[in-house]
Amino acid sequence: MPNIPIVAGPSGGPIDCDQLQRDIEYYEQLIASYKKSNLSPAEKATGIATASDVLNGLYASYAQHCAHGPKPPPFHLAPWKLAGPFGIQVDVAWNTGSVWTVLPVSNNRVLVGTEQGGLWLSEPDGDGAFRSQCLSNDWPEWGVSAMVADPSHPSSIFVGCGAFDSPGALYLGNVQPELLHSWRRFRCPLL
């Protein structure tokens, strides 16, 4: 069996993720060869333990420096301009109160969480402006205070709702066009 080379830690230079991947494969194969070897049980256990320690360090380094979640889709908006001083306009009526949270989603669309008007989806209308539709008309909670996309499924969105004097709820939904109105509600207990 070969001697196990000890891998030096990062020297402050850039991390070579391809080399880390090759090192991981080498140590995985080395452990497999120790398991099949004709060495004494003590020598076999020592070799596997040492190679496993190095392999665990390589896994940690790869996870820290090279393994990243999916990149969110690119998001571009035209320069900001005031659409109106009052809130979200639907047809000729103003709705919602103040905006408390905003989350960009795919295709230049924006989810808008409002103080009193629920959750809205604002999307380009094709003429340089945005049209809005309420996604929460049937929700008992109207105050949206927080939103976040699931890092591993960016079209899945968590929305936190409720007022200061109520327990509120958590909603899970999807911003794919065919699933816009299929939100699930989870009641939040009072803390």
pLDDT digits (tens, 9 = 90+) for 68-114: 666 666 666 666 666 555 555 555 555 556 788 899 988 888 999 88
Strands 169-174 and 184-187: antiparallel
Q: What is the dihedral of CA 55, 59, 64, 65, to 10 degrees?
A: 80
Nearest to 159 by CA among 111, 123, 116: 111
- pTM of this prediction? 0.50
pLDDT above 70: residue 6: no
